[in-house]
Amino acid sequence: MGEGGDRMHEEEAIQEFLGDRPRSSQLADWQAILERRLAAMARDAERQTPGEAASLQLRMASLRKQIAALAEEAAVTEFVEDSVRVTLAMGAAVEAMGPGEFSESGE
SS3 content of the chain, % helix, strand, coil (to 5): 80, 0, 20
Query: Does some domain include residue 84?
Result: no
Confidence of residue 91 (pLDDT cuts 50, 70, 90): confident
Interatomic CA distance for residues 57 and 82, integer angstroms: 37
Region at 23 (left for phi over 0; alpha for psi -120 to 50; beta for the rest): beta
Query: Does some domain include residue 103?
Result: no
Interatomic CA distance for residues 63 and 38, integer angstroms: 7
> What confidence tens digit (pLDDT) does each residue in 42-75 have?
999 889 888 888 889 999 999 999 999 999 999 9
Query: Does some domain include residue 11?
Result: no
Region at 22 (left for phi over 0; alpha for psi -120 to 50; beta for the rest): beta
Query: Does some domain include residue 4?
Result: no
* pLDDT winner (highest mean) among 29-33, 83-87, 88-92: 29-33
Say how many domains are in the chain.
1
Q: Flag whether pLDDT at 1 surpasses 60.
A: no
Q: What is the pTM of this model?
A: 0.74
Question: What pLDDT does 50 receive?
Answer: 85
Question: Which comes out higher in pLDDT, residue 84 or 106?
Answer: 84
The residue range of the domain holding 31 is 22-74
Query: Does some domain include residue 85?
Result: no
